[in-house]
Amino acid sequence: MSLIEEETIVRIAAKGDGITESGQHHPGTVPGDRIANGAVISRGPHYVEAPCAHFERCGGCQIQHADEIALTDFVTQRVAGAARGQGIEPENVLATHLSPPGARRRATLHALRTAQGAVLGFREAGSHRIVDATECPVLADNLTRLFPRLRAFLGRFADKQPVDVMLALSDQGPDIAFTNLALEGLEATEAALDLAREAGLARLSLDQGYGPETLWEPEPVTVTLSGTVVPLPVRTFLQATPDAQDVMVEDARNWLSETRMIADLFAGLGTFAFGLSGSARVLAAEADRAAHLACKAAANRTGKSVFPIHRDLFRNPLQPDELDRFDAVLLDPPRAGARSQIDQIVKSAVGRVVYVSCNPSSWSRDATVLCGAGFKLRSLRPIGQFRWSTHVELTSLFER
């Protein structure tokens, strides 16, 4: 075999592979590692031993072998690179925020009953095979401590089809929702109630194919958003970590501190609306009915200046004459972005847009439309809320 010239890994690519200056991808490497003949010949200063025993098999994390500097650089380059790839130069790139280990308060695990008992964890990358997790340094301890109880329960009562286990932390404690789990008979139901009681769950629900049904909820389950207690419906979206949520809301507050009328689009439970309502009147538009009703209930109870409306912004975006009533717009859309709504914003008189995104690709597409209509990207903050994952997020401010 002929020798190939040695190369150095210069950055981490979008899917987590290390990449050399010549464009060669090498899984499991980080900047500074030296490569020859497709193999690592020396590790650089940014390589660390993965903290989780399941890393490399579990599909939940891709870059646990990168130190804090390499992780920060990866998140920063993914976000800033998405803008620059469209010819958009941010005037100000704020410090990248990384969520710490053990901060994640929601996740969906997968489980399967086998002859040896249940396996419970995330799936392997590119596979339906479930990695039986004994630890997870990403999740909050209050959630990982539930693994043995969940495994024992599902080993007794799950069918032979996979079960999804949605975990979330509410104000009252852990909230668990099973999907594809049918409990047959009194014994199974009583065992589920015992699980909820002994594990100190805030709520236990299951979906047997007809939508979620709550089995256990000693008191109404809530989540506190910017000091406002909001009902938490089953399986409703929450930002994955409280620390990243706080950074996002604070950015929005700083950028919109002088505005008095704000349209919060894709508002969810009111994560941003309640944070902005101290100095402004906020319209909170949301398509998911359960989230909309929870936001409305909290607004009515507290008297906050939040005015929820139930509206599908993909099919029925706010029109220019509606948007013209507002000083600013805040968007936090799903991964697909907000193309239809952006098209209406650029036709309106709105001069300030705060765009929070969980997908740099769809965000950069929408940012190109905004900039083409005279907006400038004033500020951009990369956010690594899903630690050790290639999934990155951002906050941004556009003005014209």
Catalytic site positions: 358
> Could you read off the pLDDT of 313-368 as tens digits, one per residue?
999 999 999 999 999 999 999 999 999 999 999 999 999 999 999 999 999 999 99
Q: 115-133: string of b/e by CB count within 10 Å (b at 16+)?
A: eeebbbbbbbbeeeebbbb
Specify the pTM. 0.95
What are 202-234's pLDDT values in tens digits?
Answer: 999 999 878 899 999 999 999 999 999 999 999
Give the residue-averaged pLDDT of 166-184: 95
Q: Is the pLDDT of residue 1 over 80?
A: no
Q: What is the pLDDT of residues 75-94, one digit of tens each?
A: 999 999 999 999 999 999 99
Instruction: Encode pLDDT of 39-55 as tens digits.
Output: 899 999 999 999 999 99
